[in-house]
């Protein structure tokens, strides 16, 4: 049995309509499906505005789902996920790009990390403190962090605090929405290492949301490439990096900086070629019906749920 299945998920935001104009909506997520297995990591990649965060927020119940289903360990939880203190809240956690904004500035770190334990577990004070200290240690923070406030920590430390809080209830699934994108490269690597270590310890799965294919490369087994609310390509990491099918994926890959001076010129030339192919493709899809996913129909590239065989490409 899979861990989490998303079936034809749609999140449409109503747009303000004028006095005489008909009601319109923005299809932020427009019919995506995904099957996630336990212990594996998944990446959701696309440019800003493609709908990645909306998917993550819908899975944890922070967005109203327009249509589709979310199935957790075989149970349809679509109706339950918005409810406070539901089992889904416990099983599926989320960390955000800017923990400075998502951690309550008026609360001490000890209170912040123990909050989910308070809400969901009946622990004695001593047990709770022991657990919070374990969590702090797990993300490399000292005991005296307990009584400090979020503003006393660096960006990387705050992401580690958010991580400790997210895994306090030992969830099987954590959604990480651009968790390192505002951090320096060396700090990024540190946070990702903590995430990996915790995953090994807890055997959890991440859905790693990022605009940067370079970052998800280290973290994910499978990747979905998203454009305008839809998946244009889905597959395992090796296939996507070595044999991208869709021009949009190729373009995202070409945006990863090439640090090898010997290959820099070749990289620049390839980028130019891809950019020109991308422009032509975009013109042809705009002339058609505006759905870039139709440039390469999903059936010809990847089956939406599950890994496709090579013969299907
Ligand atoms: N509450 C909202 N009301 C209306 N439109 C929204 C709302 N939230 C997001 N959108 C729109 O939905 C689309 C998808 O946004 P989303 O944040 O999911 O994209 P994203 O790929 O995560 O991009 P980013 O990395 O910039 O957050 C965008 O056009 C965005 O402007």
Under a CB-based contact definition with an 8 Å cutoff, are residues 166 and 177 in contact? no
- Please tell me the predicted confidence (pLDDT) of residue 83: 75
Measured in angstroms, how far is the CA atom of residue 214 from the centroid of ligand 1?
A: 22
Give me the interface pTM, i.e. the ipTM. 0.96
- Please tell me the predicted confidence (pLDDT) of residue 215: 81
Residue nearest to atom 3 of ligand 1 (CA): 13
Q: Ligand 1: which atom is nearest the Cα of residue 211?
A: 25
Return the closest-CA partner of residue 166 out of 117, 107, 126: 117
- Does residue 39 or residue 137 have the better pLDDT? 137
Can you tell me which residue has the tokens 């308070």?
Answer: 118
Q: Ligand 1: which atom is nearest the Cα of residue 178?
A: 25
pLDDT in tens, 77-123: 998 887 766 788 888 999 998 877 888 999 999 999 999 998 888 88
In this prediction, residues 164-193 reach a mean pLDDT of: 93
For ligand 1, say whether the CB of 51 is within 6 Å of any of its atoms.
Answer: yes
Does the pLDDT at position 175 exceed 70? Answer: yes
Q: Ligand 1: which atom is nearest the Cα of residue 229?
A: 14
Sign of CA dihedral 209, 215, 220, 221: positive
The DSSP annotation for 203-243 comes to: T-EEEEEES-HHHHHHH-SEEEEEETTEEEEEEEHHHHHHS
Can you tell me which residue has the tokens 């640090």?
Answer: 259
Does the pLDDT at position 230 exceed 50? Answer: yes
Residue nearest to atom 11 of ligand 1 (CA): 28
For ligand 1, say whether the CB of 50 is within 6 Å of any of its atoms.
Answer: yes
For ligand 1, say whether the CB of 13 is within 6 Å of any of its atoms.
Answer: yes
Residues 210 and 232: their CA atoms lie apart, in Å, by 16
In this prediction the pTM is 0.86
Does the pLDDT at position 304 exceed 50? Answer: no
- Please tell me the predicted confidence (pLDDT) of residue 286: 67
Residues 89 and 225: their CA atoms lie apart, in Å, by 26
Residues 118 and 211: their CA atoms lie apart, in Å, by 35
For ligand 1, say whether the CB of 97 is within 6 Å of any of its atoms.
Answer: no
Under a CB-based contact definition with an 8 Å cutoff, are residues 60 and 53 in contact? no
Strands 24-36 and 4-15: antiparallel
Q: Ligand 1: which atom is nearest the Cα of residue 53?
A: 22
pLDDT in tens, 233-274: 888 888 888 888 888 888 888 888 776 677 777 778 788 888
Residues 96 and 178: their CA atoms lie apart, in Å, by 7
For ligand 1, say whether the CB of 56 is within 6 Å of any of its atoms.
Answer: no
Q: Within 10 A of 8 (CB to CB), how many other CB atoms are there?
A: 12
Does the pLDDT at position 199 exceed 70? Answer: yes
| Structural domains of the chain, with CATH | 4-15+24-308 (3.40.50.300)
């Amino acid at each position: 049995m899979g861990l989490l299945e998303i079936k034809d998920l749609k999140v449409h935001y109503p747009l303000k309509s004028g006095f005489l104009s008909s009601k319109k909506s923005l299809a932020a997520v427009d019919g995506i499906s995904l099957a996630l297995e336990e212990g594996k990591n998944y990446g959701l990649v696309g440019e800003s505005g493609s709908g990645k965060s909306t998917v993550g927020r819908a899975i944890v119940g922070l967005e109203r789902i327009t249509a589709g289903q979310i199935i957790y360990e075989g149970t349809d939880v679509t109706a339950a996920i918005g409810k406070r203190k539901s089992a889904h809240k416990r099983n599926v956690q989320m960390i955000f790009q800017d923990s400075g904004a998502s951690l309550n500035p008026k609360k001490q770190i000890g209170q912040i990390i123990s909050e989910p334990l308070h809400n969901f577990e009946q622990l004695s004070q001593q047990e709770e403190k022991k657990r919070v200290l374990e969590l702090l240690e797990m993300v490399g923070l000292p005991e005296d962090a307990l009584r400090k406030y979020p503003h006393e920590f660096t960006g990387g430390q705050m992401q580690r605090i958010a991580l400790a809080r997210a895994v306090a209830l030992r969830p099987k699934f954590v959604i990480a929405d651009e968790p390192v994108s505002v951090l320096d490269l060396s700090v990024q690597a540190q946070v990702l290492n903590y995430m990996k270590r915790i995953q090994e310890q807890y055997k959890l799965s991440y859905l790693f949301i990022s605009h940067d294919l370079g970052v998800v490369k280290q973290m994910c087994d499978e990747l979905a490439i998203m454009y305008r609310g839809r998946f244009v390509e889905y597959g395992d990491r090796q296939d996507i990096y070595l044999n991208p099918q869709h021009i949009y994926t190729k373009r995202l890959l070409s945006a990863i900086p090439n640090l090898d001076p010997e290959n820099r010129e070749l990289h620049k030339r390839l980028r130019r070629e891809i950019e020109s192919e991308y422009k032509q493709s975009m013109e042809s899809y705009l002339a058609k019906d505006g759905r870039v996913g139709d440039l390469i129909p999903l059936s010809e590239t990847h089956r939406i749920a599950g890994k496709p065989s090579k013969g299907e490409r």
